[in-house]
Copies of this chain bind each other. A is one copy, B any other.
Amino acid sequence: MKIGIVGGTGDIGEGMSLRLSQNHDVILGSREAEKAVTTSECTIDELRKRGKPCSCRGVCNQDAVDAGDVIILAIPFTHLASTLGSLHGFENKIVVSPVNPMEKKDFFIFVPPPEGSAALMVKKILPQNARICMAFNTIAANRWKALDEELDVAVPVCSDDSGAKAAVMEIVRSTSHLQAYDAGPLGVSPMVESLTPLLLNIARYNKMRDVGVLFR
Contacts and interface: CB of A to CB of B under 8 A. Distances in A.
Interface stretch (A21-29, A79-87, A125-133, A187-195): A187-195
A167 interface: no
Interface string A152-170: 1100100000000000000
A215 B205 contact: no
Q: Is the interface of A mostly helix, strand, loop or mixed?
A: mixed
Contacts of A182: 202, 205-206
Interface of A: 106-107, 109-110, 152-153, 156, 181-185, 187-188, 190-192, 194-195, 197-199, 201-202, 204-206, 208, 211-216
A181 B202 contact: yes
A204 B185 CA distance: 12
The count of identical subunits is 2
22 contacts: A107-B185, A109-B187, A110-B191, A156-B202, A181-B205, A182-B206, A183-B201, A183-B202, A183-B205, A184-B201, A184-B204, A188-B201, A190-B194, A191-B194, A191-B197, A191-B201, A199-B215, A202-B215, A211-B215, A213-B213, A213-B214, A213-B216
Given A213-B215, A214-B216, 16 more contacts: A107-B184, A109-B187, A109-B188, A109-B191, A153-B216, A181-B202, A191-B195, A192-B198, A195-B195, A195-B198, A199-B215, A208-B215, A211-B215, A212-B216, A213-B213, A214-B214
A216 B149 CA distance: 13
A121 to B, nearest CB: 17
Nearest to A105: B187
A195 B208 CA distance: 20
Contacts of A208: 215
